[in-house]
Amino acid sequence: MSDTIEHADTAVADRQRLAEAIAREGGRIALGYFRDRSRLTIDQKTSGQDVVSIADKEVETLLRERIAARFPDDGLLGEEYGLQEGTSGFRWVMDPIDGTSPFVFGIPAWCVSIAIMRGEAIVAGVIYAPTTDELYSARRGAGTTLNGHRVQVAEAATLQTGILGLGANHRVPSKVVSGVIEQLLDEGGMFVRNGSGALMLAYVAAGRLVGYWEPHMNAWDCYAGFLLVEEAGGWFSDPSSWVRMIDGGAVVAGCPGVKADLLRIVEAHAV
């Protein structure tokens, strides 16, 4: 039994190391486009606020090629090129550039996000922010690191003493977001939105934000962040409540001190 466990742990650690390396490699490509946005070609998806750039596609292609070369039997799920089933029991869930809107407008709030699943469990997560050269990495049972140093959520913070990260999109009624914001402010809290949910989840893990809420996210936007937060001592809403992983759902995560109040406020305005 111990040999089986050791082999499983090695298999995850090997994939985590690859995720760290390719997140940096993909981040360098994206950063080149970010610094010279005249090279960007941009297409709309569902609306003018939902866009994809040539950088998104080029980085995801790189990630897929690097993973397939090392672990050809692993499954792949990415924002730009969808689901490719595997046979190994491992699946990579990736967003080549989370925060595409900030990216294309020259705002440095974007990142590369890569989660690794074994079966239905998230076993490793990596988020790399190229503009600040910050690499967040977590493996189940091994904690969360930022550039190699252990980090923890802001354990003693509350909604009244910290800042809540908040996400918004056009997939849910605007009154849901405005209702949460109004109640949060009325109860003495404050929020920030930078356009990248993955990066704000990483900030929760690092103790910079006390929590994060978004009424709808896709798996590739949040799965890596979920594990970062959990391994840093925080909590997150169970995505098994989503109808299907591929469709996404509501995301709530944070440090222990905000859990009761944040869930109460969010649930009061749920659709």
Task: Read off the pLDDT of residues 23-82 as tens digits, 9 standing for 90 and up.
Answer: 999 999 999 999 987 776 665 555 444 456 788 889 999 999 999 999 999 999 998 888
Domains of the chain: 2-150 (3.30.540.10), 164-268 (3.40.190.80)
Which pTM does this prediction carry? 0.92
Rg of the chain in Å (alpha carbons): 18
Task: Read off the pLDDT of residues 196-240 as tens digits, 9 standing for 90 and up.
Answer: 999 999 999 999 999 999 999 999 999 999 999 999 999 999 888
* Residue in 38, 39, 79 with CA at minimum distance from that of residue 59: 79
